[in-house]
Amino acid sequence: IEQFSFNGMPIDAALRLLLGTFRLPGEAQKIDRIMEKFAERYFREQPGGVFANADAVYLLSFSIIMLATDLHNPS
């Protein structure tokens, strides 16, 4: 994740860039760890952005993934 550059990108585009390079594991704990690292990196690259801290980025990005899963998963 440290090799990605999310500078100046909206969060949805940054997530799409990241998740387009690999398939997320099915385990929630692993997804949690990946999103935690993504949030830290994204927040560092957005000085003066709309997010107060990396936790806010984490919460929104994890929520986006869960909503997309609910939308596209038939079960």
Q: What is the rounded radius of gyration, in angstroms, for the C-alpha atoms of the chain?
A: 12
Q: Which residue is catalytic, options 2, 27, 36, 45? A: 27
Tokens of 64: 């986006």
Q: What size, in residues, is the chain?
A: 75
Question: Is 40 tagged catalytic?
Answer: no
> Both tokens of residue 16?
């799409």
What is the spatial distance between Cα 36 and Cα 54, in angstroms, rounded to a whole number?
Answer: 8
Active site residue ranges: 27
